[in-house]
Homo-oligomer: A and B are copies of this chain.
Amino acid sequence: MSRSATRERIEEKADALFYEAGFEATSFADIASAIGISRGNFYHHFKSKDEILEAVITRRLSATQAMLEAWDTDAAPKDRILSFIRILITNRTKIMAFGCPVGTLTTELAKLDHIAEARAAQIFTLFRDWLADQFRALGHRDDADALALHVLARSQGIAVMASALKDEAFLRAEVAALEAWLDQLPDHTPTKG
């Protein structure tokens, strides 16, 4: 099963529009006209809107997995966690406009009572497990998962409020506070040899 270029473009545009306008507010016509194809052509690749959502979530899961694996090459666990936290800075413009893509999609699907909600929440699980690994590497055996969830929650809160306030200074201040929290965490990294 080859992945056609058209299918790829549909997924890419759907991914962007689901983020910027929301899943429900995005229509087939919006996606089709944005990439310059007919609605019929669309139907050749995806039979229903739910099928596109499925593809977008799969796409995001893969992208997240790839990003985390890339960060795994960073030397210190704390630096890896910092990489995660700094997504908020890197993507600040979009976050201030549309919030976090993961959090907002999960929230929307929850309200729609959509079956894909659990699958969208899986993206959080990837971050959660990866972050917990880093905290375990820092010697936090018992509370690694709780610390991972704490970082996730803090990040989500920053995204929501930055979007509501449209305030970059707030975003930067709260990111700095989160980094300070991480910095004062006891580091029990076991030394080799």
B-facing residues in A33-86 (Cβ within 8 Å): none
Given contacts A21-B112, A112-B25, A164-B103, contact A174 B150 (CB under 8 A): yes
**In the assembled complex, A160 has its CB within 8 A of some CB on chain B:** yes
Residues in B whose Cβ lies below 8 Å from that of A99 = 107, 110-111
B-facing residues in A117-164 (Cβ within 8 Å): 121, 124, 146, 149-150, 152-158, 160-161, 163-164
Identical chains in the assembly: 2
B-facing residues in A96-122 (Cβ within 8 Å): 97-99, 103-104, 106-108, 110-113, 121
Q: Does the CB pair A156–B149 fall under 8 Å? A: no
Q: Which among B98, B113, B124, B174 is the interface contact of A161 at CB below 8 angstroms?
A: B124
Q: Does the CB pair A173–B152 fall under 8 Å? A: no
Q: Which among B97, B149, B161 is the interface contact of A152 at CB below 8 angstroms?
A: B161
Among A149, A152, A163, A164, residue most surrounded by chain B Cβ atoms (within 10 Å): A164
Q: Does the CB pair A104–B111 fall under 8 Å? A: yes
Q: Does the CB pair B157–A110 fall under 8 Å? A: no
Among A106, A110, A153, A154, residue most surrounded by chain B Cβ atoms (within 10 Å): A153
**In the assembled complex, A87 has its CB within 8 A of some CB on chain B:** no
Residues in B whose Cβ lies below 8 Å from that of A21 = 111-113
Q: Does the CB pair A164–B20 fall under 8 Å? A: no
Q: Does the CB pair B152–A22 fall under 8 Å? A: no
Q: Does the CB pair A110–B98 fall under 8 Å? A: yes
Residues in B whose Cβ lies below 8 Å from that of A146 = 173
Q: Does the CB pair B124–A164 fall under 8 Å? A: yes
State the CA gap A124–B158 with chains docked (Å). 14
For the A-B complex with A106-B164, A152-B161 known, give 9 more contacts whose Cβ atoms are closer than 8 Å. Answer: A22-B111, A22-B112, A24-B25, A103-B160, A107-B163, A149-B165, A153-B161, A157-B158, A157-B160
